[in-house]
Chains A and B, each alone.
Chain A
Amino acid sequence: MASGFCGFSQDVLEEILSWLPPESLMQSKLVSKSWYALISSLVKNPIFVSKHLHNIDKRIFSSSTCIVFCCTRPGYWPDPRMFSSVTISNDFCENDRLEYTSEYFKVPFISSGGAFHCNGIVCLAGYDGTLMLCNPAINEYRTLPKPFLTGEGFFLQGAGFGYDSRANDYKVVRFGFFGFPVENIEAAEVYSLESDSWREIEVHVEFGGLPFIDRGVFCQGVFYWLISTNDDYLILSFDISDEVFHSIALPDNLPVTLAKEIKLAVWNESIALFFCLGEREAPRFIELWVLDDRSWIKKLTIGPLDGIATACAFWKNDELLLQETVGGIVSYNLHSQRLRNLTIRGVESVRHWECLYVKSLVSMRGGNQARADKVTRKSI
């Protein structure tokens, strides 16, 4: 066993290295020549990369959750927006205090179409159809080929990025319509990282009326988007492996009057729906519904909560992010019902939450992969 280290075999050393976050791993290359050679080859080894990714969830020491927000900061013009991240340590969760650090989240641009995250890869989308995948933890960026569905006359309604475990491939899906009048989604396309190309796919979903679609969530290989049509609300789903769209009804008789009262989330690996009741200035109640084998179950009601504008997402199964009316973020514990403040330094207000993020070694292999040591930030 070549890389002798305290008498450990190379297998054991590999196991040890598979628990290190990417930045620690890169720095450890400098320990010695044999470490340099071993780590350089491991980060290119798909089996190691996959083991490293799975170990992130299994960690019991220094485990943490990273949440990315889109924020505005004072004094920056014309574009005051930035991505900021909050990393919450899970080691002290029993305590009253929430141990966390906040920092600027380095990506090449702030996308207009929102950021999607999967296994350490962030997908950024621009107004003009530009799409980029990046893995900030290993400093890798990749601009995707131009999609088919762009240009004047095409209106993008929704998009998503996720991992297809059946095909072992990362995919982007985009859909929308051409011009008015419109009654449905008229076109959709899928990008596969493996083939590095786009292809159009069939859509057969009837809505009746112009659908407004919010940012989706990805859960167990399926995307879900909330849709409000002229007189109804429903959920559009897309299976990343089968590449088929379906529509799902909301809970029966849910008295929704405004689209912003409802929001999708992932909870305990199930798809969940927040329903926020109450006037903006009054204490609010938040109902949590879970989709269980095609039927909705109301799991709990949270509240009354003062000064809360909306629910954002779960960052743990019992910790929920809430957006305050004044632009801050708080974490709410389902068991203790305690609210804990998350202050993000250098930020004026939080516009919305973007995604939960993990630092992985997953590479956007093949194709027109481009590595850049310094990528200039710009807004497109």
Chain B
Amino acid sequence: MSSSSTTTTTTRLLMLKASDGVTFEVEEAVATKLGAINNMVEEEGSEDLICLPNVNGKFLGMVLEWCKKHANNNTNSDKGNDEVNKWWDKEFVMDLDQNTLYHLLMAADYLSGTELVDLLTEKVASMIRGKKVEEIRETFKIKSDFLPGQEEEIRKKNSWAFE
């Protein structure tokens, strides 16, 4: 996925390069929503190609799509922004499979996209809330390492939480 924006001539464009060599041309105002890119631009300027060795083209593309949408929503209408963003955010993560969700979260975390990390961690949390312990272990492929009896003891100690 490659993107170009030619709406205004005054907007500066950044060139980003993912780990697999895929490059993206993005408006500076959009890309600097990501803390990591903002820091790089401040430190090294925006002339050179920005290399991002820890994120591949698929997920960098998705992160940038999110940034672009939020940047657009925030300039297009001044009222009800929050609601529009919330609605769009919900749609954005609605049908992500677990694998994509995890990799996207790691990419967002690496790029310091705080708001996107919020959205994705909340989505992961929604897979935990209200679930039984056994279900959580299964979902996240975690093995219990409690000794026999330990689990029961904790359950008893916190009985009010397990009613």
Residues in chain A within 8 A of chain B (CB atoms): 5-9, 11-12, 15-24, 26-36, 55, 58-62, 139, 373
B27 within 8 A of A: no
Are B141 and A32 in contact (CB-based, < 8 A)? no
Tell which of B124, B137, B155 touches A31, judged by Cβ atoms closer than 8 Å.
Answer: B137
Contacts of A55 in B (CB 8 A): 122
Are B145 and A33 in contact (CB-based, < 8 A)? yes
Are A16 and B124 in contact (CB-based, < 8 A)? yes
Chain B, interface SS category: helix
User: What are 11 sample pairs from A and B whose C-beta atoms fall under 8 A apart?
Assistant: A6-B102, A7-B106, A16-B128, A17-B125, A19-B121, A19-B129, A31-B142, A31-B144, A58-B122, A60-B122, A139-B160
Contacts of B143 in A (CB 8 A): 32
B7 within 8 A of A: no
Residues in chain B within 8 A of chain A (CB atoms): 86, 89-90, 102, 105-106, 109, 117-119, 121-126, 128-133, 136-137, 140-146, 151, 154-155, 158-162
Are B133 and A60 in contact (CB-based, < 8 A)? no
Are B126 and A62 in contact (CB-based, < 8 A)? yes
Contacts of B121 in A (CB 8 A): 12, 15-16, 18-19
User: Provided the pairs A15-B117, A16-B121, A60-B90 are in contact, do residues A24 and B129 lie with their beta carbons within 8 angstroms?
Assistant: yes
Most buried by A among B140, B142, B160: B160
Contacts of A62 in B (CB 8 A): 126, 129
**What's the Cα separation between A236 and B95 when bound, in Å?**
52
Are A29 and B158 in contact (CB-based, < 8 A)? yes
Q: A18-B125, A61-B126, A139-B161 are in contact. List 10 more A-B contacts (CB 8 A).
A: A5-B140, A8-B106, A15-B117, A15-B121, A16-B125, A20-B125, A31-B133, A31-B144, A32-B142, A32-B146
Contacts of A32 in B (CB 8 A): 137, 142-146
Contacts of B128 in A (CB 8 A): 16, 20, 24, 28
Q: Closest approach, in angstroms, between the C-beta of A140 and any C-beta of chain B? A: 11
Are B89 and A60 in contact (CB-based, < 8 A)? yes
Are A6 and B141 in contact (CB-based, < 8 A)? yes
Q: Closest approach, in angstroms, between the C-beta of A191 and any C-beta of chain B? A: 27
Are A26 and B117 in contact (CB-based, < 8 A)? no
**What's the Cα separation between A216 and B131 when bound, in Å?**
39
**What's the Cα separation between A28 and B137 when bound, in Å?**
9
Are B117 and A33 in contact (CB-based, < 8 A)? no
Are B158 and A26 in contact (CB-based, < 8 A)? yes
User: Provided the pairs A7-B102, A30-B154 are in contact, do residues A12 and B126 lie with their beta carbons within 8 angstroms?
Assistant: no
Are B146 and A29 in contact (CB-based, < 8 A)? no
**What's the Cα separation between A59 and B154 when bound, in Å?**
29
**What's the Cα separation between A24 and B133 when bound, in Å?**
9
Smallest Cβ-Cβ distance to A59: which chain B residue: B122
User: Provided the pairs A12-B105, A12-B109, A29-B158 are in contact, do residues A58 and B118 lie with their beta carbons within 8 angstroms?
Assistant: yes
User: Provided the pairs A16-B125, A60-B86 are in contact, do residues A29 and B117 lie with their beta carbons within 8 angstroms?
Assistant: no
Contacts of B117 in A (CB 8 A): 12, 15
